[in-house]
Amino acid sequence: MKMQPLIVVKDVESSSRFYQKLLECESGHGGSEYEMLLVNGELVLQLHAQDVHEHEGLFNESYPCGNGVILWFRTNDFSNAVERARSLEVEVVSEPHINPNANQPEFWFRDLDGYLVVMSGNMGDML
């Protein structure tokens, strides 16, 4: 089984460009209503426009984007991931640090829609 998260965003094309740079991934669909983002051909994230109502009851515009979700990505190149995130001028929530509970480097920030995003290294990696 694999997770294939789908998040609701205000602007699919802007969010797609953001995540393509952040995750070094590519578009697998494209368009203003829906996007599939792929790493080495594997789906890692789906983006769906908030104002498209083809899925009745799925999206509620009274809830803000980013409500209650943390997008957590593990990378083998933590330093490079932090540089990419900073180049996107993200809102930093927690500077790069070692999480003592997980014994891994982490960088917490918000994306264009306010989703909390964590880039983490591997357990035992140092900053």
Q: Give the CA-trace dihedral at 7, 37, 35, 5, to 10 degrees.
A: -30
Does any domain span residue 59? Answer: no
C-alpha torsion sign, points 122, 3, 46, 30: positive
The H or E element containing residue 83 is: helix 78-87
Residue 36 sits in the same domain as residue 73: no
Does any domain span residue 40? Answer: yes
Q: How confident is the model at residue 124 (pLDDT cuts 50, 70, 90)?
A: very high
The two structure tokens encoding residue 64: 């803000």
Q: What is the pLDDT of residue 56?
A: 58
Q: What phi, psi does 80 have (nearest 5°)?
A: -65, -40
Q: What are the pLDDT digits (tens) for 21-75?
A: 999 999 999 999 999 999 999 999 999 998 776 665 556 666 677 778 899 999 9
Work out the average pLDDT over 92-116.
Answer: 97
Instruction: Name every residue whose Cβ is closer than 8 Å to that of residue 77 and which is 6 or more positions away in sequence.
Output: none
Share of the chain above pLDDT 90, in %: 79
Does any domain span residue 60? Answer: no
What counts of helices (H) and strands (E) characterise the chain? 2, 8
Name the residue range of residue 6's domain.
1-51
Q: Are 84 and 28 in contact (CB under 8 A)?
A: no
